[in-house]
Amino acid sequence: MPPKRTLHRTTPSPGNEAAAAICAVVRRIPRGWVATYGQVAAMAGLPRRARLVGYVLQHLDTTTDIPWHRVVNAKGEVSYTLSRHGSDAFQQRLLQEEGVEFDDRNRFDLERFRWPE
């Protein structure tokens, strides 16, 4: 069962244009592809705001249709942190179900699976 996320809405709040832009980009990432936090930020018109992308995605409701799991760090990894309460392992499983192949160090070939935009 996926871990609970904290915010109780499936889309960004109406007045938050940055969050809406981020979610619009993430919705476009095709199944089996990934994009980095920085890549999403740049495509959303928010260069150098990768942390904002992480914040927005972390606060989506679990019932969202936004494929948050397709956003990864620039090292070709799922970002692991205690504050994710297990959602990092869930994210890796979702990516594996879409065909993203991880090695024994829980990394994948970013150049192979990165969405070419």
Whole-Å CA distances, 79 to 11, 20, 66, 102:
22, 22, 18, 14
pLDDT band at 4 (very low <50, low <70, confident <90, very high): very low
The alpha helices in 68-109, defined as continuous H runs, are 87-97
Has residue 115 been placed in a domain? no
Question: What pLDDT, on a 0 to 100 scale, did the predictor assign at position 87?
Answer: 77
Domain of residue 69, CATH code: 1.10.10.10
Question: What pLDDT, on a 0 to 100 scale, did the predictor assign at position 52?
Answer: 94
Pairing mode, if any, of strands 35-36 and 71-72? parallel
What average pLDDT is seen over the chain? 87
Q: Which domain holds residue 82?
A: 17-109
Has residue 7 been placed in a domain? no
pLDDT band at 84 (very low <50, low <70, confident <90, very high): low
Has residue 65 been placed in a domain? yes
Examine the pLDDT at 3 and tell me if it is beyond 60.
no
**Number of domains comprising the chain:** 1
Question: What pLDDT, on a 0 to 100 scale, did the predictor assign at position 77?
Answer: 92
Residue type for position 110? L
User: Quick check: 43 and 55 in contact, CB under 8 A?
Assistant: no
**CB-based burial, 49-82: b 16+ in 10 Å, e otherwise:** bbebbbebbbebeeebebbbbbbbbeebbbbeee
pLDDT in tens, 102-117: 999 999 999 999 999 8
pTM of the full structure: 0.83
